[in-house]
Structures are given as structure tokens and as C-alpha cells.
Structure 1
Amino acid sequence: MDAPFGPGRAPLTGWCGWDAGMSSHETGQRTERAPLTVAALTSGRHAPSPRFRVRQYRVPLAERGVTLREYCPFVSQHILLPGLLNRVSRRYLPPWALMQMTLNILGRVPGVLGARRADVTLIGRSVLPGLERAVHLLPRPRVLDVDDAIWLSGHNSEQTAGRLARNVDAIIAGNDTIAAWYRAHNPNVHVLPTPVDTTLYTPRPVAAPGERVARRPITIGWIGTDGNHPNLDLARPAVEALVRDRADVRFLAISNRRPPHWAFDDQRLVFRYWDPARELADLRDMDIGLMPLHDSAWSRGKCSYKMLQFLAVGIPAVASPVGMNRDVLAADDVGLSAATAVEWYQALDRLCADDEARLRKGLNGRRLIERAFDTTVFAERLAALLRRVHAEVPAARRG
């Protein structure tokens, strides 16, 4: 998913159009620290990971003397084939696989050249699918950023992911599960969850005293890509039953594709295509957010970002107690957990019936995001980490 055009967007000067190298005068803050330039090699303009783990940092890092330039391929490495062809494994379509690999390699050339002009190379989690050995073409120090259990998927098998981990100078992990796996391959691992821009993700405006507000249905919402539709289906029996049982409830799903198995009617069960221009409005249209997850090794590597988005806009979450979801739920009274169809129904029914509880948990969630997951909080830690890694690699071994 691409980034919305929020306030403070950086000039279009990088290969991907993102350059955080603004002056202290432009950011409105002064920094006396030595300047540092970071070349961020990401998987594409429309990939969720760089949107939240790279571009959100452009202004706060600039305020700390760190210039962040992003380089992503001009053609997405995840480009899809049309229709049913997309379901065919790439190994059965050699010409397509060869073309995709060629475009991926060519698309990386500007990033390799840009990295040679930078002080630190930041490598996105899926920048080099099938090309992990080529990491040696990138100058040191090299920092790998990972926010999923990529050793369980596709080209990123345990062997290739481990090889890549051993050939970087530091690893930034999105949660403790990811960090634990990578520490077996590299001792220099740091946990840095995905941050939330609290100046962009804000609660919907509250009605002024005396202002008449039209009664609206209680909206249970979910947002995510089509790869997460199987997770959404975990909550489907409970959501459909609750919509049948309560006339004041509706369900809203936001995705790049229409989830199968759901009987959307545009009234009580509503589907909207994801649109960066209205993502915030869609989130604010919800009263309760869903984050269902299958209890699997892959899910335990998830960084709970949908849940953090819900909390940032001031709505409680009902989530599977899996991986980082469990940690966020334990951090404060911000929602409810659900592991079975009965628990999903009971949790949602409980929140739908209690306006005060929804408001209280939503407010707690917003406060949790502000103090523990805000972009500015993590920007200070990221800037310090990048400077430390740069200092630890001798000048003679860089480049």
C-alpha cells in the first residue's frame, strides 16, 4: 500500500521520490550532531513495509541530522500476472520469471550507486529475493530491516534469510519473535516496532456541546491486504451473526481486493477498496477494529500494525492473542482478546453494548500509541542506532 499525501511531505528528489535530507531551517529544528546519510533500498512504492518503516521517518530523522534517501525499483518486484495466471507458480513460467528477475536487478542499480554515496545502507526485508548473495555489492555498514517472519516465505527460506543476516552489520527487528530468530545468525539485533505518525493518525473530531449528531450504526472494521483475508475469515462467523442479531451494527472491510466468502451488501456488510486518499477517513469511520490471526509461526512474526492504527485513531481493538497482539493487549486496557468463534462474538457484542467501555478503551489506546509507539519516539532510537553502526565499522572496511 502506498503512502498517503500527508502534511510535511518531502521533496521529490530520490529514486522513489522520497528524500528526508531537509535542512534544520526547513524542519524548524536545529541539530548540532554530525550529519549522516542513509540509502534505504526498499521493495517498492506500493509496498506497506517501506511506507511505515522508512517514509514515516523522513522528517523526524532530518530533524536529528540524518538524511534518508529511498531507492525502490521502477517496476514492483511483486507485479502480478493477469487473471488465473497469477495463481501459477513462477517456476512454471520461465519467461515471466526471467523478465521479473531482470527488471528487479535493473531496478536495483540506482540503489547500489546511491548506497556508495551514503554513510549507511538500509536494506528492506524483501529487497533481494533470490539475490541474497549480491548483498556484497552494497557498501558497509549494512543494516537489514525486517518486520515479518520472512524466513518462512518464498525465496526467503531459512538458509537464504540466514545467509543475508550473516552478511549485514546490524538487524532491526519489528518484534521480539523476529529478533529471537535473527540472533541465531547475527548478535547485533535491535527491536524497533513499526511506529505510528500520531500527527496524521488522529481520532475523529468530537461533537461540540449541544451539537446535534445523527445516530450512526456501530461500525466494526478491518483493514488489510488480500494476503490477510484468511485471517479475517476467523472472525466471519461472529461478525455475520452479530450483524444479524443487532440492528445497530454493521461491518466495514477495507482491502485491495474484495474478500471472498463474505456476502457484502453495501449496507450492513460493506466493502471498500483501499484508497490512500481516504484511509484515515475509513479508519475514523470505525468504532471497533479487528485483528484476527491464525496461531502460526508466520503470524507470530506479525508486528500488529493494523491494531496500532486502530488505537491511534482512538478505537478499541478485538484481536487474536497471538504474538505481538498479546503484548499490545497486555500493555493497557485497549481492547479484548478472542481465540474462538464464541469469544469473538462475545467480545464484539460486549463492546457494541457499552458505549462508555468503547470510549475508555479507545482513549487508553490513543495514549498508549502516543507514549510508546509514536514516530518521534522511535526516530531518536533509530538515529542513534544508525550512528552507532556507522561508527563501529572502520572506515577502511566501508564501501
Structure 2
Amino acid sequence: MKKLAVFTLYSKKGASSNYRAYIFKDEFEKNFYTQYFCFWNDKYTAEYMWNKKKYKLKIGILYLIGAVKRLYQLYFIAPQFDVVFIQKGVIPKYKWTMLEHLKRQGIRIVFDVDDAIYELKRDNSDRIAQKSDAVICGNETLKKHYERVNPNCIILPTIEDTTKYEPYWRQTFSKKIIGWIGSETTIDNLELIVEPINELIQQHPEVSFHIISNTALEFTERIRNSKLIVWSENDYIRNISDFTIGIMPLKNNKINRGKCGFKLIQYLNMKKPVVGSPVGVNESIIKGNGITANSKEEWIDAFETLLYQEDRYYGCISHIETDFFREYHFQNVSKKLIEILKS
């Protein structure tokens, strides 16, 4: 059995590392002897990264420790493996990739990226992509960028294990709950739907808005009939099941155009119709699974259509059960990933 080394940016508690690498752990281990190596530890992911000014010194110490460990892993451990899978980066903000010696030894290098990290300062992802045998991109925008330095780019969406959602599938058309899931890093996008939801609720006071997150900032005060449901690993899937529809508003900027639409995929895994901004990959995911909306009027119209037109609502669910699951089901995506690693 071949050996696979998985180098992630975060531990399993970091969303991007979890959903692009750790989620496939069982599938990896069926096909490879597998070992994981993360750069940032749980303490950073759970606490430090949310208040970088307060923990600046501790983050600096963790960075130095992580960099030394990563150098040791790359030069003394990685050469013992047949395939190296790099999720998002080698050493954050470090210019050099340290991958040349692995290339010389014939080790297959696969680079995975799910955000427009090339827009960040001191990013070296182009260099990593150039040294890799294959680049896995979360959407077409990322693929177009990295194809400039590596022609072997493949799109694989960010997904979640569909089977975890199946026990919670249920009809919630009568509940009239609009839902959003996310973190403090993306919650500012809710600015786009404050007015639309408030105007909708003025006409339909039975509608409520649920925010699943580590914080709601001021949005529970600004949006009528809204409440914060604190995200937890054990409960977030069950809490999504309460939604009638899920939303993904996105401000139109370079970072958001590189997003992989993961919120939409979570709602759709629960067979909930969606409304989202037509930014980046959102439009291609939504298709017949919901409605795209730009202006305030479009958001209100989309809400009223999916919350009150039963035929349209269940038509979206039928589309989810056929087209969406064919492309985004966990088993289908994991099979493609294993094929890329083995190529």
C-alpha cells in the first residue's frame, strides 16, 4: 500500500482543513497508509485566530514552532511517503516552498486550494502550484488563476459527508425559517440582507431568521425576529434541519469571488432550497436548487417565492435530490480525489 502524507494548515477544528482534508480520512486510509501533519494547533484555531491583536506574542511563538516542525517534516518525514497532499499552504507567509527535494525524489505532490489566497499579502501559492503535479481547486475562478502556472488543475467542490445529514431530512415548509450558517470572518455579508428581511417580516411577521455562528455581532439587534444559535460540532447539522430555506449573501469582491459556496452545499445537503448572491461559484451551485438575488427587491421576491409558493419550493427539492447530489455527493467527490492522488 502506498503512503500518503497530508499537510494541512489547521487541525480538524479549522473549517477549511476539515472539509478539504480531514473529512476524507476514512477514504484515504482505505487506499493509503496515511499520516496527517497540521501547522496551527487547536489553541490557535479555537481561540488565537479570532483575536490576533490580543494574542500577537503567543501567535508569534506558535508560528516559529510550527515553522520548525514543518521544515523537519518536509525534509525528514515527507521523503518516506509516495504522495504529499498540501492543503492551502506549506508555511504561511513564507516565500520558499521547500518542495524541490521532494520533486527530485519522484514524490507526487498534490496542492489543494479552496480560497482566493493569491489575493493575500506575502502569498506563495503560485510557487506551490508550480511545483505540484496537480492542483485541486474549489471552483472555476481558482482554476483559471492557477492554470497560469500549472496546466493540470482539477475542480473539486468543498463538500461535507452527505450521510451525516440524512437522519435529519424533514419537511419544514410550514416553519418559515430563513437560516444562515457561518463565522465571524464572513458574517459581515449579512449586511446585504438586513433591509430585505426586515421588510419581509413587516409583511409576514411569522417569518424568523436563525444565525448559526460563533457570534452574531450586532445583527440580532438589527434584524427582526432573529436569534443566534451558537455553532457546535454536535448540533449544527440538526440546527440546519430547522431551516425552511438557507441563504448565502456575498459582497462582490475578489476574496468572495474565490469562495467555494460551502454554505450553499450545507443547506442543499439538508435538502433546503437556497437564496444567494450571484457572486463567484454561487450561481452555478444554485441553478434549479433555489434563486439568486442581487438587489433588495430581488431578495424579498426570492424569499416570498420560496417561503410561500409550495410548488416552487418542492420543485427545488426535487432538483436537489437529482442534479445536486449527482455532483456534490460525498462518495462521488471522494472517489475523484482518490483517483487524483493515485494518478
Q: Find the aligned partners of 1:154 and 1:366 in 2 and give their Cα distance.
A: 41
For 1:143, give the aligned amino acid.
V
RMSD of aligned alpha carbons: 2.8
- Aligned mate of 2:119, from 143, 148, 152: 152
Match of 2:149 in 1: 185
Conserved? CA contact 1:40–1:69, under 8 Å: yes
Amino acid at match of 2:117: I
Q: Which one of 55, 67, 70 corresponds to residue 108 of structure 1?
A: 70
Corresponding position of 2:110: 143
Alpha-carbon separation, structure 1, partners of 2:276 and 2:85: 32
Give the C-alpha shift of residue 191 in structure 1: 1.4
**Is 1:315–1:359's contact at 8 Å kept on the other side of the alignment?**
no
> For 1:306-325, what aligned pairs fall within 5 Å after superposition?
306-325=263-282
The alpha carbon displacement at 1:264 in A equals: 6.9
Shift of 1:59: 2.5
Match of 2:2 in 1: 36
**Partner letter of residue 104 of structure 1?**
G
* Deviation per residue, 1:249-308 (Å, 9 max, x gap): 10000112223344179x921111110100110110111000111122211111111101
* Higher helix proportion (structure 1 or 2): 2
Q: 8 Å contact 2:212–2:231 — kept in the other structure?
A: yes
- Residue matched to 1:380: 335
Aligned-partner SS, 1:226? coil
State the Cα distance separating 1:318 from its structure 2 match: 0.2
Q: Give the secondary-structure state (helix, strand or coil) at the position aligned to 1:289.
A: strand
Structure having the higher Rg: 1
Matched, 1:217 2:175: yes
What TM-score does the superposition give when structure 2 sets the normalisation length? 0.88
Whole-Å Cα distance in 1 between the matches of residues 305 and 257 of structure 2? 27
User: Which residue number in structure 1 is paired with residue 32 of structure 2?
Assistant: 66
Amino acid in structure 2 at the alignment position of 1:358: Y
Instruction: Answer yes or no: is 1:130 the counterpart of 2:93.
Output: yes
The one-letter code sitting in structure 1 at the alignment partner of 2:269 is A
Asked if 1:292 is matched to 2:275, the reply is no
- State the distance in 1 between where 2:125 and 2:281 align: 21
Alpha-carbon distance change, 343 to 82 in structure 1, aligned in 2, over 3 angstroms:
closer
CA–CA separation in structure 2 for the residues paired with 1:359 and 1:300: 29
Q: Aligned with 2:168: secondary structure?
A: coil
Deviation by residue 1:356-388 (Cα, 9 ceiling, x = unmatched)? 322321232233332111121122222221122
Q: Is the 8 A contact 1:203 1:312 kept in 2?
A: no
CA contact (8 A) 2:211 2:228 kept: yes
Deviations 1:224-264 (A, max 9, x none): 11111121221121112222321221000011222334417
Write the distance in 2 (CA, Å) between the matches of 1:310 and 1:82.
Answer: 26
Residue 97 of structure 2 contacts residue 127 of structure 2 at CA under 8 Å; is this kept in 1? Answer: no
Partner of 1:201: 165
The whole-number CA distance in structure 1 between the counterparts of 2:58 and 2:255 is 28
Amino acid at match of 2:35: R
Moved more, 143-152 or 53-62: 53-62
Q: Structure 1: where are the runs of 5+ without partners?
A: 1-34, 208-212, 389-399
Secondary structure of 2:340's aligned partner: helix
Q: Which amino acid is 1:51 matched to?
A: N
Could you tell me the percent identity over the aligned residues?
Answer: 25
1:237 pairs, out of 186, 191, 195, with: 195
2:83 & 2:238 partners in 1: Cα distance? 37
Deviates more, 1:315-324 or 1:294-303: 294-303
Distance 1:349 1:138 in 2: 58
Where does residue 4 of structure 1 map in the other structure? none
Deviations 1:65-118 (A, max 9, x none): 2343221146356675599x7458x9xx6x556424213214436743542332
1:120 to partner: Cα distance: 0.7
| CA distance in structure 1 between the aligned counterparts of 2:197 and 2:89, rounded to whole angstroms | 34
Aligned twin of 2:311:
356
How far apart, in 2, do the equivalents of 1:264 and 1:67 lie? 51
Residue 205 of structure 1: CA displacement?
4.5
8 Å Cα contact 1:41-1:111 kept in structure 2? no
1:303 and 2:269 correspond: no
CA distance in 1, matches of 2:246, 2:29: 33
- What do residues 163-209 of structure 1 show as CA deviations (whole Å, max 9, x unaligned)? 222222221111111011001112221111123322112273548xx
Q: Is the 8 A contact 2:97 2:128 kept in 1?
A: no
Q: What residue in structure 1 maps to residue 326 of structure 2?
A: 371
**Do the aligned partners of residues 357 and 110 (structure 1) sit closer, same or farther apart at CA in structure 2, a change above 3 Å counting?**
farther
For the 8 Å contact 2:194–2:222, the answer to whether it is kept is no
* Distance in 2, Cα, partners of 1:38 & 1:60: 12
Show the counterpart of 1:228.
186
Are 1:270 and 2:227 an aligned pair? yes
> Could you state the TM-score of these two structures normalised by the residue count of structure 1?
0.76
